[in-house]
């Protein structure tokens, strides 16, 4: 699930730009893709932390 999302976000960004820009992919586009990827990783890490904290809370309550 997550691998597909990463690939879709990164590849779609560059593929769309490559069709729009005759010079190819620019440094600015690559920077934008990296920022989107970083945002995705931040959200993923937040979700993982929430699951881990939830599991630890369940274990302590048990």
Give CA–CA dist 56/10, Å, rounded.
33
Please give the pLDDT value at position 1: 44
Please give the pLDDT value at position 13: 61
Give CA–CA dist 57/59, Å, rounded.
5
Query: Which secondary-structure segment (H or E) carries 13?
Result: helix 2-20
What does the pLDDT look like over 4-43, one tens digit per residue?
Answer: 555 555 566 666 666 666 666 677 777 877 888 788 888 8
- Provide the whole-model pTM: 0.52
């Amino acid at each position: 699930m997550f691998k597909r999302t990463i690939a879709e976000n990164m590849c779609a960004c560059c593929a769309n730009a490559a069709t729009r820009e005759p010079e190819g992919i620019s440094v600015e586009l690559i920077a934008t893709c990296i920022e989107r990827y970083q945002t995705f990783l931040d959200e993923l890490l937040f979700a993982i932390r929430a699951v881990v904290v939830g599991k630890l809370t369940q274990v302590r309550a048990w």
